[in-house]
Amino acid sequence: MSVPKKMASSAIAFMLAISFALVGCTSNNNNNSNSGGGSEATNELGLIEEGKLICGSDCDYPPFIWLDESGKPVGFEVELMEAIAHDMGLELVYLEPQNFDSLPTVVAGGGKMDLAVSSMTITDVRLETINFCIPYYDSNQAVVTLVDSPYTSIDDLAELTVGAQAGTTGYDWAVENLPNATIKTFNQTSEGMAALRAGEIEALFFDEPVAIEHVSTGYTDCQVMQVIPTGEQYGFAVSKDNPALEAAVNESLQRLIDNGTYAEIFSRYFDFEPTIK
């Protein structure tokens, strides 16, 4: 009987040690930034690695981002980020695909990515943990069903099983508006689309531009049942502790919007005029 007791007490000791260590770390950091704020001129943007802009994404959201045959991220967001990084004189680095739902926590925690660039809608809830740069895309929600689906309106879905990507505004929308439906979550939108095809779910909720791209390219057996106007806007997520980077990215993005580079990149991916000004 003494073994579990010992284990329990050592586990508690371990936890305490960790928490003390962390308290120590954070207070040290605070001291550093308080005393030597001006001396950090070498890396005034607070980048994780000097000279590099490290971005994280789920890398599965065409036309914004997807992986090409060689596993390299491509898409509207990637080109836009490349332009911004070039403008800021930094090298753009994309991390391996991340789980979308973990992005806000990772950005807030710091130390892994400078920006989360993943078609992330600016919401009041997310703003509690992270900051956003100025919006770079106007989006809406969409409901995708199979072409031969008997359902024609959102009311038809009220009691059914539907899906959404974990941590997305599509999930939030479904939870709020379909309280009697069963809502399944997926790590990637493509997993949700596979589940839709397999009949696991009757409809999938995600962002309008991606829904339209999916049904017109790979998933021709699926259709956009309805677009739900929500007027949401995408922004690059940045840590609250890093206002310098946020300001620098904002300035750079605004410059690209003003000088037409943004519109030029936009026109390569969308057949309508950009609404961001």
Partner 1 sequence: MTNNFRHQKVPGSSWGLPGICLWQKKPNNTEELSHEKQPQNAINRVLVCLALAVLLLATLPPSAWALTTERASARPNDSSQKLVIGGRPTRITWVGNVAENEEVTSITLMFPVGCSLTDDTYVKVQEMIMDDPMHPQRNDPAYSIELDSTHLYLQFETPIQPNNQLYIEIFNFCLPELTGEYFITGSYTDGPGRSHDLSAQQNPIVVVAMTRTQKLVDAIGEWEWVQSWNSVMFLRVFFNPAWFVASIPVLFKGWLISLLLVTLGFPLAIPIGLGFSFMRMSKFRVLRGIASVWVNFIRGTPLFLQIYIAFFGLPLLGVRIGNYPLAVLVLAMNSSAYLAEIFRAGIQSINKGQFEAASSLGMTGFQTMFSVIIPQTIRRVIPTMTSEFILLYKDTSLLSAVGVMEQMMYAKALANTTANLTPYVVSACFYLIITLPLTRVISVFEKRLAASEGRAEPPEDTKAGRIRLGRSDQDSDKSTASLQARRSDAGESAAAQTLSQGTGLRESND
Interaction site with partner 1 (CB under 8 A): 3, 7, 18-19, 22-23, 26, 101, 104-105, 108-109, 124-126, 128-129, 138, 140, 155, 163, 166-167, 171-172, 175-177, 179, 182-187, 191, 194-195, 197-201, 208, 212, 224, 227, 229-231, 272, 275
Q: How far is the CB of 104 from partner 1 (least distance, A)?
A: 5
Nearest approach, Cβ of residue 103 and partner 1 (Å) = 10
Distance CA 115, CA 132 (A): 9
Nearest approach in angstroms of CB 86 to partner 1 is 29
Residue 86 class from Cβ within 10 Å (0-12 exposed, 13-18 middle, 19+ buried)? middle
Q: Minimum Å distance from CB 5 to partner 1?
A: 13
The nearer residue to partner 1, 177 or 250, going by C-beta atoms, is 177
Whether 92 contacts 138, CB under 8 Å = no
163 within 8 A of 189, measured Cβ to Cβ: no
CA 271-246-129 angle, 5° bins: 100
Task: Map 146-180 to HEC letters.
Answer: ECCCCCCCHHHHCCCEEEEECCCHHHHHHHHHCCC
Token pair 């900051």: residue: 131
* Comparison of 4 and 38: residue with beta carbon closer to partner 1: 4
Query: Which residue lies nearer to partner 1 by CB, 104 or 235?
Result: 104
Nearer to partner 1, 24 or 51 (CB): 24
Compare residues 67 and 228 and give the one whose CB is closer to partner 1: 228
Helix, strand, or coil (residue 178): coil
Which strands form 52-56's sheet, in the order they lie side by side?
91-94, 52-56, 115-116, 237-238, 131-132
